[in-house]
Amino acid sequence: IIYSWVFNEFPSFVSEDSRRFISQETGNLYISKVQTSDVGSYICLVKNTVTNARVLSPPTPLTLRNDGVMGEYEPKIEVHFPYTVTAAKGTTVKMECFALGK
């Protein structure tokens, strides 16, 4: 399975960069330091690489809050590593860790 995200409409796919990350483990889209240009509608696209079947999620809107309700967050580390990771010698292992807050 491959996860990707569409921004506003096809064929505008979200590109990963220093602010955007798509987890191929969970399909989650992470955006840091959200900007006005990030406002819009996001659709998750899941593709089965064996059958080429595709499934789209319903659109999820992203809006900015300007009322200060979100406030400041203390730093927090999100780690979802399995207790044990088994891999063959010479293969690549990817482990995801996220830090959030101000």
Domain that holds residue 25: 2-100
51-101: pLDDT as tens digits:
999 999 999 999 887 766 555 666 666 666 667 878 888 888 777 777 766
Number of domains in the chain: 1
Query: Is the per-residue pLDDT at 20 higher than 90?
Result: yes
* CATH classification of the domain holding 67: 2.60.40.10
The per-residue pLDDT for 52 is: 92
pTM of structure: 0.69
pLDDT band at 15 (very low <50, low <70, confident <90, very high): very high
pLDDT band at 46 (very low <50, low <70, confident <90, very high): very high
Position with higher pLDDT, 11 vs 14:
14
Distance CA 45, CA 24 (A): 12
The per-residue pLDDT for 74 is: 63
Query: Is the per-residue pLDDT at 32 higher than 90?
Result: no
By CB atoms closer than 10 A (0-12, 13-18, 19+), residue 5 is buried
Number of Cα atoms under 13 Å in the Cβ half of residue 33:
3
Q: What is the mean pLDDT of the chain?
A: 84
